[in-house]
Every structure is written in C-alpha cells, then in structure tokens.
Amino acid sequence: MLLIACPWCGERDELEFHYGGQAHVAYPADPEGLSDAEWGEYLFVRDNTKGPFAERWSHAAGCRRWFNVVRHTVTHQILAVPSDRPTAAGRPKPVTA
Amino acid sequence: MSHQLPEHPDRLWRTPDPKRSYDVVIVGAGGHGLATAYYLARNHGITNVAVLERGWLAGGNMARNTTIIRSNYLCEESAALYEHALKLWEVLPQELEYDFLFSQRGVLNLAHTLQDVREGTRRVNANRLGGVDAEWLDADQVREFCPIVNTSPDVRYPVLGATLQPRAGIAKHDHVAWALARKADEYGVDLIQGCEVTGFLREGDRVVGVRTSRGPIGAGRVALAAAGHSSVLADLAGLRLPVQSHPLQALVSELLEPVHPTVVMSNHVHVYVSQAHKGELVMGAGVDPYNGYGQRGSFHQIEHQMAAALELFPVFARAHVLRTWGGIVDVTPDASPIIGPTPIENLFLNCGWGTGGFKATPASGWVYAHTIATGEPHPLNAPFGLERFTTGALIDEHGAAAVAH
C-alpha cells in the first residue's frame, strides 16, 4: 500500500487515489499536421520506465485534484512531490524525473 | 481430481556455455520463449538456437501465474489464437513425453448482473460460431456443476448464471516449462541461464546479435520474449512499445482436501479460484493500477480478492493464506498481445500478453516460431502486429475477454 502525499490534503493511503499514468504528456500542438504514426504514438505509447518515473495521480476520494509525483517503479519509493502548496491563484510546481 | 504428482524424467537439460553465434537468439526462458525454441526445432528444423535468461529458467511469470487455460475470448482473432493453444495443450503431454497434469475440469465465468448475463450469452454464441466449446448455465446448473458456489439470491451480487467452457482447465506450470525445455534441449537448443541481455549488436538498421553479461553473442535473428521487461529491452534497441508494466498478484491457501471441481472466475466481484492438484486454492484478481517492476503488489488487492472469494465460497471462510506473490505483466492499450516483426530488421517481438499469457504458451510459441523462421507472421498472429497501433485495427478485448484487466 502506497502512502501518497497529496499537495493539498497531506499523506493519504493509495486507496483514495486514481492513477493517471505518465506525467508531462502534452496534447499535440498541431493535431491536424500529425501523421497516423504520430497519432498512434500520442494515443498509445508512453514511457514504461524501470526506475524514477514522473506520473500523475488524482486524489479521487479527497479533493479530486491532479498532481505529479516521481516514484521509483521498483522500490515504489516516492522521491518527489510538488514542493510548494499552491495558492488559489497558482498551480503546484511541476515535478520532473 | 486428486492426482499423485508424476515422476520426472531422468534427464532434463544441459547447461552449456554460450557459443559465439546462433541462427536465432531468443531473449527470455519463460514459457513463451521455451515454446518458441521447441517449435522452431520441431516445426521448422531450426536447432542452432539459444534461449537466454537473465535469472533462472521459467522463474518469472511462468512460475507466478494461476495456471488457467481457456479459449473463451470474444474477438475472433483472440479466440482463434487461444483455441489453437488449447488444441496443442491437449496433445502436448504425450508429445513432450512429460506429464504436466493438464486437467480439463472446465472454467465457469459467473454472471452477477443483467449486463454480465448479456455479455456471457453473447460470448457463448460467439465462441460456438468460432468452433470453441461453450455453454450457458443458469444458477441451478452452476450449483450442480460446482456445488460449493454460493448461489443464494440473498447476497449482494447473486449468481444469475455462468458461461462454461468444458475443455478449459489447469496445468502444472513448472512442469510445462520443464517439459518444453527438455524437448528443446533434446533438439540441440542451448538454454543459457544467468545471462542478461544488456544491449544489441547492430549493423546499420539491422540487429546482428546481443550484448550480454556473458559477452557478445551473434544472431541471425533476435526474438524478444521477456513479458514484463519487454519495453526495458526494446528501449535498448531504440524501440518504443505501447506497453505498460504492472504488478499482478496471486495467492494460495493451505492444502485442503479436494472440494473445488472446476475453475471459477468472476469478473464482477473479481476473483478467480481453482484448486491445485496438491490441494491449495489458487486465487488471482486484477493488476495494481500503477506501473511497477517490483514483483510485489498492494495489500488491498489481496483483501479485495479474498472478500470476493468469500462471498462466492463461504465454505472457505476458515482457510488460511499460505503465501502471496507478484509478477510483472505487460499490458497493451487493447489488452491483446503483440507478436510479429519490428521496424528493426531481424528483431522480432512477442509481448503484451498482460494478465493471460500462460494459457497461450504453446500457440504463442507456434506462431512466433513461424514468424521468426519465415520472417512473416502466421495467419493466426497476423492481426496482432505492432502496426495495429498505427492503423487503428485494434483487437479490443477489454472487458470482453471474460476477465477485467
């Protein structure tokens, strides 16, 4: 069972969260210019890192907000979470591997 | 259903040092890698083959699964592949001269909601049209077939019926691996354990061998069969795969006398239970939702599947869990495997079996050997190529494969 620190609510157990896969996957800037292969890549291919991995979690049974986490996919140790609690006006700092 | 465990043959396999090069190098000595080596030799006469294994033979998912064999998939492409496997399972013990306790005790897939009933009856009809044996049982017939299932209407998710595939069943997975390894070895295939692949030898855009922890090994063709670690390996070749690796857990109970006559699966409350030949209840459920390579899973998954098992089988209320373990499964976006050539010449790919690779073992080896030997997919694996993620011709078994992923 993972203990995940929601940047808004604090540490909660894994059951309260929904997993969102790899972080920092941007929607294509020019969707109409994409080839079939590029669309396939965007839709279906994600990093599958063995080691530190930046990924998204949603606090589904809590504040329902999304945030990024860096987790080691072998040890499951959570290596980084957003460092600053965001204000109403701002978003948490992005976390990268 | 109680069996004496069979005696093993006197001789299993050699432990050779790797040669400088082979016609085919297979990466991964699990069930699929071993079956591929066996059928390369048996069906295609290609015996200058090495199977390289980082750990020990069949120590990965082959030793970590719940051993269920069935072919009641919904999509035609999948049903054809798994039915080919089931037909091979029926002849393999004799062909390999090694009893691996293949027991065709049937598989029940329970229906607990009207939606389940509709899905189940549709799958029975689809299976029959595709030449796969399938029956629909109502709740009374379920109780008759497997008397320990709780078919009371007064539970939260009552059993409304079930699909039954009578030819489905279980086999003793370790013995399957050893049987395939022994015959592959007999054909001259080198099974090399403790040999990790750390990179690929390239000439231009062709693969000509592998770098390993025991030195470089040349290869006419390189065939990946590394299940949960396929994308780690493919990364070394600069190939990105539409695969995500997840922990999948299973558990066994203490030994009980034979009480469970078939395999029972429930997608809705989500557990699958059978009784091993020795007497343990073998249980599994879904993957952990997050990516992971740690070969251990979340405790709440075990709680969930135990709760489901107890609702279905009140008779097991006092059974103790003996041990739990996790494997790493490679899940694709359409819950179907990828078997075929890659954009890199002489590099072949067999991965993405997700939560259900064991049942496919012989067919996977059969079609992969064909693909490696001829350079072209067999008709049975032609729809399962990597290119489907570009063309969009997916084989979408999510929810339709009689088990959630």
A3-51 residue pLDDT tens: 999 988 999 999 999 999 999 999 999 999 999 999 999 999 999 999 9
User: Which residue in B327, B360, B357 sits closest to B61, CA to CA?
Assistant: B327
pLDDT at residue B50 above 70? Answer: yes
Which residue out of B301, B390, B398 would a mutagenesis test of the A interface target, given it has the greatest number of A Cβ atoms within 10 Å? Answer: B390
B277 residue type, one letter = H
Residues B227-250: what's their mean pLDDT?
Answer: 96
Cα radius of gyration (chain A):
15
**A-chain residues within 8 Å CB-CB of B290?**
2, 19, 55, 71
* B292/A14 CB distance under 8 A: no
Per the CB < 8 Å rule, is B390 touching A37? yes
Q: Tell whether the model's pLDDT for residue B25 goes beyond 90.
A: yes
Q: Give chain A positions within 8 Å (CB) of B232.
A: 48, 50
The set of residues, in sequence order, having a beta carbon less than 8 Å from that of B150 and lying 6+ positions away, is: B159, B311, B312, B313, B314
- pLDDT at residue A87, as a whole number: 52
SS3 state at B298: coil
Cβ of B300 within 8 Å of Cβ of A43? The answer is no
- What value does the CA radius of gyration of chain B take, rounded to a whole number of Å? 21
**Cβ neighbours for B160, distance < 8 A, ≥ 6 positions apart:** B111, B112, B113, B114, B116, B117, B138, B139
For residues B47 and B41, the answer to whether their CB atoms sit within 8 Å is yes
How would you label B185-210 residue by residue, b for 16+ Cβ within 10 Å and e otherwise?
bbeebbbbbebebeebbbeeeebbbb
**8 A C-beta contact, residue B51 and residue B34:** yes
DSSP state, B277? T
Cβ A46–B390 below 8 Å, yes or no?
A: no
CB B116 within 8 A of CB B268: yes
Q: Which residue, among B232, B290, B302, B332, would best test binding to A if mutated, counting the most A CBs under 10 Å from its CB?
A: B290
The average confidence (pLDDT) of chain B is 95
Contact A45 B389 (CB under 8 A): yes
The DSSP bridge pattern shows strands A10-13 and A18-22 to be unpaired
Q: Residues A73-87: what's their mean pLDDT?
A: 76
Angle CA B214–B375–B211, to nearest 5: 15
Please give the full DSSP string across B183-214, using - where no structure is assigned. Answer: HHHHTT-EEE-S--EEEEEEETTEEEEEEETT
Q: What's the pLDDT band for B5 if we cut at 50, 70, 90?
A: confident
Position B106 confidence tier, pLDDT thresholds 50, 70, 90: very high
Cβ–Cβ under 8 Å, residues B134 and B163:
yes
Separation of alpha carbons B124 and B339, rounded Å: 27
3-class DSSP assignment, residue A25: coil
Closest by Cα among B334, B331, B355, B352 to B403: B355
The better pLDDT of the pair A91, B269 is held by B269
Say whether pLDDT at A97 is over 90: no
What residues of A are in contact with residue B299 (Cβ under 8 Å)?
1
Predicted TM-score of the model (pTM): 0.94
B139 is written with which tokens?
């709740």
* Cβ burial, residue B257 (10 Å; 0-12/13-18/19+): exposed
Indicate if the pLDDT at residue A76 is higher than 80: yes
**For residue B182, pLDDT beyond 70:** yes
Contact A45 B242 (CB under 8 A): yes
Q: What is the largest CA-CA distance in chain B?
A: 67
Secondary structure (3-state) at B125: helix
Would you list which residues of chain B are within 8 Å, Cβ to Cβ, of chain A?
Answer: 229, 231-232, 240-245, 289-294, 298-300, 333, 389-392
